[in-house]
Amino acid sequence: MDRSVHRLIGLCAMLIMGTGVGHVSVASTTSRMPATCEGCDFNRTDLHNLDLSGVRWVGVDLVGADLRQANLQNASLDGADLEGADLRGADLRNAKLNGADMRAARLAGVILFNTRLDGVDLSSQDFTQFADGNVRTLLTSCRGCDLRAAVLFGKDLGALSLEGDDLSHADLHAVTLKGAALFSDDLRDADLREADMSGAVLCSHEIEENGNAPPLAGRIVCADLSGARLVGATLRGARLCDPRDGVSGPSRYSACRPVDAAILVKYAHADLAGAIGP
């Protein structure tokens, strides 16, 4: 079912509830917001300070909506369009926003805990407005996210585990990634000048299971650094994790072995001119 059909269903539900087509008024939202809604149109609706905990709003249109200080604990907003929405101070603990479009959303002070943000579009988001701790929490909640052209200048992302995120063209100038794990992340054309990636896990072996046979070593998978600017970046002690070592859990990163420049050039497509190490 495509998005237009979802939205039509949502509009019909709102008509039945007496809210009318178009924007939902603050007075009606307090008592009449549906607990479950698929494809509803809440475009630019004022929902600030409302208790929306536990709602199941799949694929809803919340473009430009005012969700300041809204209680969205345990809410499911998978696939929601939150482009340009104001989520400052919103409580998203235990919420699910997988696949949501959050481009240009205002996120300062948003409360995150056990929040699912897999595949969220945060492209061009300026994270310099957030405290380092908030940025770390958000990125930890995010897997396979679109962070193209995001601005993370000078942020401390040390020891974070990032997997499958698209950070191409991102501003990572002077970012601390010391001891971080970057598996299959797209860092093409990113600005990594003066970034500290010492001790970071940049590569891993891709392992295929063949029935009950022992694991077979596949190809080496690295963060893609093709075209990245690495002048002044520190890569001392960059590491390669190999699942064949049988190490699992958080300790697997400390068990990774050092990687050499040849591997980074070959598998990460890295131009190491001006970089320090590995």
pLDDT in the model for residue 208 = 58
User: Taking the mean position of all CA atoms in its chain, how far away is CA 249?
Assistant: 21
pLDDT in the model for residue 37 = 94
168-189: pLDDT as tens digits: 999 999 999 999 999 889 999 9
* Regions of the chain with pLDDT less than 70: 1-31, 207-218, 243-254
Q: Between the CA atoms of 53, 57, 60 and 62, what dihedral angle is there, to the nearest 10 degrees?
A: 0
CA count, 13 A, side-chain hemisphere, 131: 6
pLDDT in the model for residue 31 = 47
Q: Which amino acid is at 166?
A: D
pLDDT in the model for residue 250 = 56
* H helix count then E strand count, the chain: 4, 8
CB 85 within 8 A of CB 61: no
User: Taking the mean position of all CA atoms in its chain, how far away is CA 42?
Assistant: 24
Q: What is the pTM of this model?
A: 0.82
Q: Which amino acid is at 211?
A: G
CA distance 98 to 94: 12
pLDDT in the model for residue 159 = 92
CA distance 147 to 101: 11
pLDDT in the model for residue 16 = 39
pLDDT in the model for residue 204 = 87
pLDDT in the model for residue 255 = 75
